[in-house]
Amino acid sequence: MKTKAFEYSKKTLTFLDILGFERIVSRSENNPELVGKIVNILARSKNIASSNLNAKLTILKVNPQEYTYRAFSDTSIISGPYSSDDDMSFLSMWVMYYQYFMWKEESAFIRGAAVYGDMYQDQEIVFGPALIDAYHLESQETKASWPRVLIGDSLLNKLSKEERERAFYEFLRRGDDNLVYLDYLRELFHLLSLAENKKIIGERQEDFGEPIKLFEDHKKAILGQVNTTSKQGDRNQHKKIIGKYVELSNYHNATIDNLRHVIEGLLSNPAIIRAVFDDHLASFTSKQSGSKYDTEYSAEEHPDQADMLNIICAVTNVIIRDRQEENITLQEALNDVCLEMPKELSILDVGLQKALIDTNSLSQLAA
């Protein structure tokens, strides 16, 4: 009788966990209320993660059913094929959704790592070098210590040149420590800025609200966690956790500062607005694959250029939406865009400024 042959297969694998979960569990003994809260968080985590695999995708050529989701305690693992560059887009979208709804609804922040490599999985078992690589990348204190999802070189190197450029344009960022991570705030802002985002994220489009509210909600979740943490545990323990939220706040503020810097540049040189808008309009009407502004720079080296396009698209959408509510034609709305752009950019800038976090006061709690 032949023994069944088992072998690894090449997969993308993302390893995620909830920041501070161990601390929450350590306080749950003899505390039924806290146990109930943990159950609710984990149940919601599973629901959010599973629903992402059932997303209605009409642009990406990906079959979500080819992906597998596993959960143990606060750890979530998603694995799937890498047949084309669309798989990277789907993976980033899945993780971004998960991050967003966890901090939006549960004030829980996610950290983790995504890699590509050998693994074995069936209905009950998951193991392999890829899982070990993802775990080590995520768990090293100097790497994913604050809530971010790192992208391993094994996965990054799978991207084609074109996809790598697009990925850094939309959802990847290289940090000061030279590590690449999923820039989820910028990714969410990007989705909000796309005129055709309904085609990408389907019926869940309305879940995101407005760009400014995105940052307001993120700020509220961070401060809520800091407030809760500062009242619990011994001082040395909560100083360490608050330090992670200080780093997260720095990321929050840096994202806003980058956007505000771009807005300042656009307001000081309105000709850029006209040039970029006209080029994108020409690209749209001629059904070309993209704008020259999408390809004449490296988004990995100059992410502010990508932010410029996102901001112009976001504000354009606001102006067009308002004009359509006035029952005028789309072309009439487009003609008003450049005239209204400076005013709307100023409104966006004020809203972003209000969403900044006072990191000095947080740093004092972590000192």
Report the sign of the C-alpha dihedral through residues 173, 257, 284, 55, in that order.
positive
Q: What is the DSSP letter of 259?
A: H
Which element (helix H / strand E) includes 315?
helix 303-325
Question: Would you state the pLDDT for residue 59?
Answer: 54
Question: Would you state the pLDDT for residue 4?
Answer: 63
Domain with CATH 3.30.70.1230 in the chain: 11-208
Q: Which of 129, 30, 110 is nearest to 71 (CA)?
A: 110
Question: Would you state the pLDDT for residue 327?
Answer: 67
* Residues in the chain, overall count: 367
Distances (CA, A) of 270 to 136, 189, 266, 340: 48, 22, 6, 11
Question: Would you state the pLDDT for residue 291?
Answer: 42
Give Cα 192 distance to the centre of its chain. Answer: 12
Question: Would you state the pLDDT for residue 201?
Answer: 40
CATH 2.60.40.1930 assigned to 11-208? no
CA distance 140 to 133: 11
φ, ψ for residue 6, nearest 5 deg: -115, 140
β-strand partners of 127: 120
CA distance 229 to 23: 9
What does pTM read for this prediction? 0.81
Cβ atoms of 267 and 311 within 8 Å: the answer is no
Question: Would you state the pLDDT for residue 117?
Answer: 93
Q: Tens of pLDDT along the chain (367 residues)?
A: 555 667 888 989 999 888 877 777 877 788 888 888 888 888 877 777 776 666 555 556 667 677 888 888 888 888 888 887 788 888 888 888 888 888 888 888 988 999 999 988 877 788 889 989 998 888 765 555 688 999 999 999 988 888 888 788 778 888 888 889 999 998 887 776 654 444 434 444 444 446 788 899 999 999 988 888 777 666 666 777 888 889 999 999 999 998 898 888 888 887 777 776 666 555 544 444 444 444 344 555 555 666 777 777 777 766 666 665 566 665 666 667 777 888 888 888 888 899 999 988 887 776 6
